[in-house]
Amino acid sequence: MVARHPVLERRIGHRFQDPALLAQALTHRSFGSPHYERLEFLGDSVLGCAVTELLFQRHPDLSEGKLSRIRAGLIREESLARIARELGIAAFLRMDESTARNEGADRPSILADALEAIYGAVFLDAGYGSARDVIARTFGTALSQLDPESVQKDAKTRLQETLQAKRRAKPQYRVLAETGAKQSLTFEVECAVHELELRATGSGSSRQRAEQQAAANLLKLLEA
């Protein structure tokens, strides 16, 4: 019999008809199968759609470009990890001892992936409407305190603008590796500014997420 997680269910605002879905969403690959990666793949798309709908409804006067920038800021890894910490997801994650010892339960990438997996699990358990409601609830503070005029641009945009201001060439991105099963790939990407002989890497569950992380890491090198 699969154990329920009533505390976490109350926090997200959804009681699972099939508690095995939530158990899977909280299981890291290191613990065994079924783990959360396929649910994370699904939840990533559900999250993007739901946040787009919520922003579209709440901000009818904003342009497509500004809505896209706000959405990118809301669903980037750091933002998802912060929400996961607010929900206390780390306490419910299942992973092997080695990963746990290496602070796996507090790793932003793992927290973000687990949160997206929970959204995917809710979608399978009760449909898009329920998943959207859970996303609206868990993003409540971020959405209510959102100031469209002060939304920070994503790392790739900030890096490109920084280089343009210095009259430097655009950064180049390339995929170094793709690991994992087809439905749950992990991408490792390099971001390089050859003119400055600078390069940084990033990883993520999508190429876009990995590129953003690599750009953020290269920005840190520039600032240093």
Residue found under tokens 């890491």: 217
Instruction: Tell me, yes or no, if 86 is annotated catalytic.
Output: no
Rounded distance between C-alpha atoms, residue 176 and residue 52, angstroms: 31
> Smallest Cα–Cα separation from 142: which of 219, 71, 69?
71
> Which of these is catalytic: 40, 113, 116, 190?
116
Instruction: Tell me, yes or no, if 44 is annotated catalytic.
Output: yes
Rounded distance between C-alpha atoms, residue 95 and residue 98, angstroms: 8
DSSP sequence for 43-89: HHHHHHHHHHHHHHHH-TTS-HHHHHHHHHHHTSHHHHHHHHHHHTG
> Which of these is catalytic: 37, 44, 77, 125?
44
DSSP sequence for 140-167: HHHHHT--GGGPPPPHHHHHHHHHHHTT
Catalytic residue positions, numbered: 44, 116
